[in-house]
Amino acid sequence: MPRAQHGAPDGGRDDRAGDPAADPERRVAARLAELRRAHGLTLTALAGWTGISTAHLSRMEKGERQPSIGSLIQLSRAYGISLSELIGDVRSREHHVVRGASAPVRKGQDGIYAIMSGLGPRSALEAVRLELTAGRPEHTASHPGEEWVYVMQGQVIADIGGELITLAAGDALHFDAAAAHSLKAADGQATVLIVSATPPPARPPHGPGQGLSPALGAGPGTA
């Protein structure tokens, strides 16, 4: 899986470090803060809607901690927008092509990911290619809809509502995403997955916090 280049190639100072537009992870952080403020929500209120702790939300918005795919899905469900809209990567075309070698790659709490879908609010599905980082503590998520996971490389341990399921390359798993769930690399080797999820609920009305419901994205808190 292609990896993003972070920092200066020669190990020296990266002149782009102060420019959020040049750093995919900082763009995501700025976008998360922008969305929360646009909805007129405090960190405490958003934590109540999503089940993600205020400390974790704050660190994500400051770029101190990268969000996991589960956290991004929880936030997109709470706002009623797609993953591509959530991170500010929306296309207006009727089709969206992602070339494997040049897919925009970002760092997340649970590994390296690339969003492979991109029709924004028109989309009937969302897809992410995820390379799990061995040894990272898995993030538990819970949100409305369904998820489908396909293992391309390595082995994965899926925890679905407390049931542990081991998946090998070529295996797939389809489950109700309302159950608390997590994914982690099983054997310390490179693990690559395709994760597809159903779209978010209907877009909430505009206005401070309107349309958000504790049922949207409410899952175990994370720190």
Q: What is the pLDDT of residue 68?
A: 82
> 47-51, 56-60, 118-122: which has the minimum mean pLDDT?
118-122
Q: Of 143, 147, 142, whose CA–CA distance to 128 is shortest?
A: 147
Tell me if 147 is assigned to some domain.
yes
Is pLDDT above 60 for 202? no
Q: What is the pLDDT of residues 17-29, one digit of tens each?
A: 444 445 777 888 9
- Number of residues that make up the chain: 223
Task: Say whether pLDDT at 176 is over 50.
Answer: yes
pLDDT at residue 174, as a whole number:
97
C-alpha 207/C-alpha 203 separation (Å) is 12
Whether 27 is in a domain gets the answer yes
Q: Is residue 209 part of a domain?
A: no
Q: Is the pLDDT of residue 192 over 60?
A: yes
Domain residues for the domain of 155 are: 20-197
Confidence of residue 220 (pLDDT cuts 50, 70, 90): very low
In this structure, which long-range contacts are made by residues 99-104, counting pairs with CB atoms below 8 Å and at least 24 apart in sequence? 100/2, 101/2, 102/2, 103/2, 103/129, 104/4, 104/24
- More confident: 59 or 216: 59
Share of the chain above pLDDT 90, in %: 31
Asked whether residue 117 is domain-assigned, the answer is yes
Tell me what percent of the residues of the chain surpass a pLDDT of 70. 70
Average pLDDT, the chain: 75
What is the domain-level CATH number for residue 150?
Answer: 2.60.120.10
Q: How many domains does the chain have?
A: 1
Within-domain flag for 6: no
CA distances, 13 to each of 5, 65, 105, 106, 162 (Å)? 14, 21, 21, 20, 45
Residue 219 lies inside a defined structural domain of this protein: no
Q: Is residue 210 in some structural domain?
A: no
What average pLDDT does the segment 134-163 reach?
87
Look at residue 128 and tell me if it is in a domain: yes
